Each structure stands twice: as structure tokens, then as C-alpha cells.
Structure 1
Amino acid sequence: MSRAGLDKNPREVAEMFDGVAKGYDRTNSVMTLGFDRRWREWTRRALDTRPGERILDLAAGTAVSTVEFASSGAWCVAADFSLGMLRSGARREVPKVAADALHLPFADESFDAATVSFGLRNFQGTVAALSEMARVVRPGGRLVICELSKPSWKPLRELYRNVALRILPAIARPVASNPEAYAYLAESIRDWHDQRTLGELIEQAGWTDVAWMNLTGGVAAIHRATKP
């Protein structure tokens, strides 16, 4: 695996996620001290799915979030470019599609909303992916992004960047199916945009009414926007 930059090699990233698919959800809970569950719940609230809506959950992984979004009665599809991830979530009874975020296999204006949880930073082109999501969402539809971000309080930001992210691979080692991959994931988090910059990229991709909310002091953040 090449070092994480903002230009990702899709094949390498897909292979990396195939390698961590086994036990991925358990590893996430261990590494985040269980905060991942709270973050998914806040994302579900922000998405505010309704019965009969069509929802695209992109970079859905094992579809753990997709199932939660579908609990409202919405029709939700889990899309991911890692076949290993989709296979690991096979027991979850939602539609699953292998998909490239930059070339989604869906018609224009197919969905009422699109969402990505902790996957946007792994796409090869952030604005291109956000634009492609805008293509498949109807006018007036919604975008919700939950992603790891930059803590707003400087002491926490320094602790997170210089301590927590450095020990992330060691924390993952006892429970992950491919611990070495978490060195890449830690670096992708460190190199990722802050909240305001991501909001500006969402606007560049054609979305409007962009707003964000910090979670856990800014360790994660939810961005919400509307397609004009």
C-alpha cells in the first residue's frame, strides 16, 4: 500500500479494504472506544430518512449503517467498491451494489438522499465524488457526510494528531484481520481536510446550504447539504 495522500489509487484502496473486511466493525468499535455507534446514530438523525424514500449509502462497507437508515421504512442501497466488505455484510438484508464512487451505476436523480460515513477521504477525487453523488440525487435532495475531522480545541487536536493516530495501528493489531492497513488509515485521517475546507469542497461540487456539526469535540463531523 502506497502512503496515503489526497490522490488515492482505487485498486490499492479496494484491496486494502478487502483485507480488513473480516472483523472491520469490531475493530472500529475498539479503536473509537465505542463512539462509532454514537456517530452513526447522529448521522441517522441528520439524514432523517422517511418511509418510501430512496437512499444511497456510499462506501457502505458491511452495510451496518445502511440497515439503520432503512429502519425508518426507506429503501436504502449499500454501495461499495470493496467486494470483501460487501461479502462480510451479506447477512444484512439490504440491497448491495459494487460501485465506483466516481462512476456510479445509477441513473440521474435516482435518490432522495446520498450519504457517506467514514469513506469520503478514501475516494480518489473528493469533488468528483461529491459531484457524482449530486448527479444521482433529485433536486431538493439531501447529502449527509460523516467523516473523521479536526478537533476544534487545540490541546485535543495535538493529542489526537500526535498521540492517538500514532498508536492506532497498535490498538488495531489484536483485533484487526490486517493490522498493517491501519497505518494507512491513520495517515489518511491525519492528511484529511478540516471542517470548513470540506464544506467548501461540497459547495464546489454543486451542493448548497452546506452546514456542519462537530461530534466529540471535532474528532468527527457531520456535513449536510442540499441539491439545488
Structure 2
Amino acid sequence: SMLDERTRHARALFGGIAPAYGTPAEILSFGQYGRWRRALVRGMGCSSTDLVLDVATGTGLIARDIEKRYGCRVVGVDQSMEMMGRAEGLSDRVGADANALPFHESRFDCLVFSYLFRYVADPPQTLQELVRVLKPGGTLASVEFGVPPSPLPRIGWSVHALGVFPLATRAFGPEWAHVGAFLPHSIVDWANEWPLERQVDMWHAAGITEIKTRRMTFGTGVLIKGRKRGG
């Protein structure tokens, strides 16, 4: 199938930066990136017998955290094979598009995804595909960048994300320059088009219940989790 423009863009964007991925993300998140990830994993509440799917696994940081914390099996999916090539210690890796997961329905006990929806053409459609492979009663959890809702932190974030960050990324080499330019604007566009209330509505519409949201670091990080109906 023809890859849509955003998918192609994501692939091009992350292909060249896989070896250093994490460091500029740390800068953009004011060093809170790891904290958000740990909070995400802690909130999932998996058991050791669970089969977990990590979509947009990248270099496998979240997958490894889940394996370490819960002792369960994690399958990592990413469309960027370069990124996954860096995913040391991750046992199960699958190269696939989040819109066409190569799994039967109701296959996984838990599903986690991170920084995904800004790179897909149709978030509700992608979410439906994620929910399809999740067991009824299974946990769905995500983390994404956000824009602070209150004015003062928002100004600080804008200066940092739109001013400091693009300059800082250049220090990591030429392949980071376009990431520095692109990433903050993609976050602003996402926050404008998909405010948190609208994201929650989208989760409800996809068959997710008991939805909880958590803004972290003034709202620069956003965690969402819920359970698939039934089960």
C-alpha cells in the first residue's frame, strides 16, 4: 500500500537519528522524558503472564522498562527498522505500520504507544487498529508531548521549544537540524487540533472506558490510559 505522507516523513525523520534518539527528546522535555516513561509504565499495572504490545517502540526503552518491572513478554512494533536495530535486549521485534498490525484481534493483554499520533494521517483510524488487537478488558496506555495549558508555562515552553531546542539539536549533527525545526511545530499543531478533551472523546469512541489522563511537567507531557470494553 502507498505509505501516506506523514508515515514517510516519520520514517525519514527517525532513520538518521536512531543512534542518538533519547538525547534531544530529553532536551525538549526539560529532562523529564525518562520520568514520563517511568510513570507511564508504572501506571500500566501489567502482570507477569501478560503479553504486551509496544507500538512505535523505537529504540525499545519503554518495552525494556515493562519487561524489567513486570517480567512479562513484550512485543515491540516500529516502522523504522533503523530505530529498532538499536533496541538492545528486546526479544520480540516486528517491523510494521501501526495502521496495519500483523496480529489477530484480541491478542494482547496490554498495549502501549508513545509519540505516535503526530505521525499518522488519521488518529481515530489508527486508534481503532490498536484497540482491535487488544483483549476486551485489556489496558491501553500512551504518552505524548503536550503544550502547557496555563499562560506562563506556555510562554516558557514556547521559548524553549521554538527557540532553544532547534539550536540545541544542531549540536547533535546535521540529521538533527530538521528534527529541531519540525518537532516543536508538530507538537503545537497536535495540541491545537487534538486538545486533551478531544483525545479522550476519541478513546471513548474507539471502545475505551475508565479513561484517566495525567498532565506532567506543566502539561508538556501527557499520559492517557484506559481499558477496552468487555472482558
CA contact (8 A) 1:8 1:122 kept: no
Q: Is the Cα contact below 8 Å between 2:53 and 2:108 reproduced in 1?
A: yes
1:54-203 to 2 correspondences below 5 Å: 54-71=51-68, 72-89=70-87, 91-161=88-158, 163-167=159-163, 168-175=165-172, 178-179=175-176, 180-192=178-190, 193-203=194-204
Report percent identity of matched pairs. 26
Deviation for aligned residue 1:50:
1.4
Mapped partners of 1:128, 1:53: distance in 2:
25
Q: Residue 124 of structure 1 aligns to a residue in which SS?
A: coil
Which range moves more in the overlay, 21-30 or 103-112?
21-30
Per the normalisation by structure 2, the TM-score is: 0.89
Q: SS of the counterpart of 1:181?
A: helix
Alignment coverage as a number of residue pairs: 220
CA distance in 2, matches of 1:204, 1:134: 11
C-alpha RMSD of the superposition: 1.6
Contact 1:13-1:122 at 8 Å conserved across structures: yes
Q: Say which is worse superposed, 188-197 or 98-107, in terms of deviation.
A: 188-197
TM-score (structure 1 length as normaliser): 0.90
After TM superposition, the structure 1 stretch with the greater mean CA deviation from structure 2, 29-38 or 101-110, is: 29-38
- Identify unmatched segments of 5+ residues in structure 2: none
Cα-to-partner distance string for 1:20-50 (whole Å, 9 max, x where unaligned): 2121122222333321110011001111221
RCO comparison, higher one (Cα < 8 Å, 6+) = 1
- Aligned partner (choices 17, 20, 33) of residue 17 of structure 2: 20
Give the corresponding residue for 1:4. none
CA distance in 2, matches of 1:38, 1:214: 12
Q: Kindly indicate whether the alpha-carbon contact (under 8 Å) linking 1:54 and 1:74 is maintained by their aligned counterparts in 2.
A: yes
1:138-179 CA deviation, whole Å, 9 max, x = no partner? 000011011111313221123323x12212221111125612
Q: Could you report, residue by residue, the CA deviation over 1:30-77 in whole angstroms, capped at 9, with x for unpaired residues?
A: 333321110011001111221010111101100011000111111111
Quick one: distance in 1 between partners of 2:173 and 2:44? 30
Runs of 4+ more than 4 Å apart = none
Segments of structure 1 that go 5 or more residues without pairing to the other structure are 1-6
Distance 1:66 1:177, change over 3 A: farther
Give the helix-richer structure, 1 or 2.
Answer: 2
Q: Structure 1 residues 18 and 53 mapped into 2: Cα distance closer, same or farther (>3 Å)?
A: same
